[in-house]
Amino acid sequence: MDETAVHPGPPGASYTVTIRVTAHPHPALLPRLGQAVSSVGAVVVGMDLVEVGAAGTTVDLTLQATSEEHVATVTAALERADYRVRHVSDRTFLYHLGGKIEVTPRVAVRTRQDLALAYTPGVGRVASAIARRPSDAWALTAKGSSVAIATDGSAVLGLGNLGPLAALPVMEGKALLFKHFGGINAYPLCMNTATPEALVDAIAAAAPGFGGVNLEDIAAPACFWVEPELQSRLDIPVFHDDQHGTAAVVLAAVLNGCRMTGRELSAVRAVLVGVGAAGTAVAEALLDAGVGDLCAFDVDGIITDGPGVQPHHARIAARCNQRGFKTLSAALEGADLFIGTSRRGAVEPSMLAGMAPRPLVFALANPEPEVFGEEMAEGAVVATGRSDFPNQINNSLCFPGFFKGALAARAAYVTPAMKSAATRAIAACVSDEELALGVIVPSMFQARVHEQVAAAVAAAWEAEHPGTPVPVPQSFAGWSDDGL
């Protein structure tokens, strides 16, 4: 059997390893090493000569694979070719050593006077001022630039209920992106709670130190209760990113996909597979935006609103499946848009072959999409959730700018207008020239994306709430115990 056949999908950055090998000197050693690696489907991205000596030539091979099993296949192939594998370093784990975030002071403490200002006795005056006028905390603490990233670890990525400790590296990654793309201080709150009620209580208890709450990796259906319940108890925005961040980016991609293919959104026939947290929010966003022909399927088939059905399924079923399709293959015949928020294999590539010309295929399951681009007919506009493929549907296009705008406007909660504004801002960041190249979502590394999302979100809140107080300027001239 072909060894590469057992490794689904192409090699990617998440399985980047460096393999140190020692071999007998030979003029063709480096090309032969590259051939040994590529013969089993891995991709060499770096080759460094470490040492040439009497004991042999030592080379560091940096390569991308598809899985840990694939890495083992590569090392076995090297050893069969008579190369001695001395060490394998997993770049992903090395990247995470010591964690990915830290707290960095904004002021210096070099003298006793600095200490007296930063801590006791000077800080006591500031604490007293905030006790008298709580709104001063937005200016005199980091509250106005801080977000809690809260999870119970019940739905970590696509890996399931791993618990709060295993969720920590994911929340650290989120905090890193908040800071890098939005300039926001974000802190992981990985809650060891047994019930949704306990989770809400724990987050609410920690909320005073934050200007917003980003809910993350909380399983459905609990997430549909946790978010509104928490928002009802807090006066800061609460945003479940797995739902609304995903929906905003997906809808932006749909809008641009329609621009690219000459479709009207209201005329789009859409099929969605996977009606969990993300899928429910995506379905609602599509319907609210004007898509009138949507069929939604879950693991048990087409969703319905009959007795015993989960409320979120019933809510979606009542607004879609108007054509009466019973099977996924029938629904996909002639459809314009497929969105998968499910798992690899949830749809067969052959089912997608009968879609309308130039279909929009968003296979968003991670780490393996429902289908890969190479499995699609030529002409399909394909998007996935992976960073190593074009058109990555990534929440990072939304949440840094969304919270930056919400904090700037000092929003008290999240409104539909704010979510719609974020969607339109993301879509508008793709130019006609980029669209002509097949690009339907911008890169998260374009700073203007996050700035435009922030501006749109802030404007949406302010349009609905004129006269809302804005954060106090950073200049505190004239400050007294009674305020500015």
DSSP-assigned letter for residue 131: H
Question: How confident is the model at residue 483, as a pLDDT?
Answer: 38
Domain 245-484 has CATH 3.40.50.720: yes
154-to-195, 239, 287, 463 alpha-carbon distances in Å = 11, 17, 28, 37
Per DSSP, the residues of 422-457 read HHHHHHHTS-HHHHHTT--S--TT-HHHHHHHHHHH
Contact 429, 253 (CB under 8 A): no
Q: Would you call 159 helix, strand, or coil by DSSP?
A: coil
Please state, in angstroms and rounded to a whole number, the distance separating the CA atoms of residues 160 and 153. Answer: 8
What residues does 48 pair with on adjacent strands? Answer: 60
* Count of beta carbons in the 10 Å neighbourhood of residue 315: 17
* Per-residue tokens: 257: 């996909």
Please state, in angstroms and rounded to a whole number, the distance separating the CA atoms of residues 250 and 287. Answer: 13
Please state, in angstroms and rounded to a whole number, the distance separating the CA atoms of residues 62 and 19. Answer: 6
Task: Tell me the CATH architecture of domain 142-236.
Answer: 3-Layer(aba) Sandwich (3.40)
Which residues lie below 8 Å from residue 264, measured CB to CB, with a gap of 6+?
258
The pLDDT tens digits along the chain (484 residues) read: 344 333 356 787 889 999 999 998 888 899 999 999 999 999 999 999 998 887 789 999 999 998 899 999 999 999 999 899 999 999 989 989 899 989 999 999 999 999 999 999 999 999 999 999 999 999 999 999 999 999 999 999 878 899 999 999 999 999 999 999 999 999 999 999 999 999 999 999 999 999 999 999 999 999 999 999 999 999 999 999 999 999 999 999 999 999 999 999 999 999 999 999 999 999 999 999 999 899 999 888 888 887 778 888 989 988 988 888 889 999 999 999 999 998 888 888 888 989 999 999 999 987 788 888 777 777 889 999 887 788 999 999 999 999 999 999 999 999 999 999 999 999 999 999 999 888 999 999 999 999 999 999 999 999 999 876 554 433 343 444 443 3
Half-sphere exposure for 225 (CA within 13 Å, toward CB): 13
Please identify every residue annotated as catalytic. Answer: 119, 174
Question: How confident is the model at residue 349, as a pLDDT?
Answer: 87
Please state, in angstroms and rounded to a whole number, the distance separating the CA atoms of residues 322 and 295. Answer: 8
190 phi/psi in degrees, rounded to 5: -95, 105
Q: Which residue, among 419, 411, 406, has the nearest Cα to 243 in the 3D structure?
A: 419
List the alpha helices (DSSP H) in 183-221. 196-206
Please state, in angstroms and rounded to a whole number, the distance separating the CA atoms of residues 388 and 119. Answer: 47
H/E element, 88: strand 84-90
* Per-residue tokens: 90: 């997993």
Contact 283, 192 (CB under 8 A): no
Question: How confident is the model at residue 470, as a pLDDT?
Answer: 53
- Tell the residue number behind the tokens 């026939």, with chain if given: 269
DSSP-assigned letter for residue 291: -
Q: Residue ranges of the domains in the chain?
A: 3-96, 142-236, 245-484
* Per-residue tokens: 107: 């002021």
What residues does 150 pair with on adjacent strands? Answer: 189, 215
Question: How confident is the model at residue 479, as a pLDDT?
Answer: 42
* Count of beta carbons in the 10 Å neighbourhood of residue 384: 27
Say yes or no: do domains 142-236 and 245-484 share a fold: yes
Fold of 3-96: Alpha-Beta Plaits (3.30.70)
pTM, two decimal places: 0.86
Per DSSP, the residues of 104-116 read --SS---SHHHHH
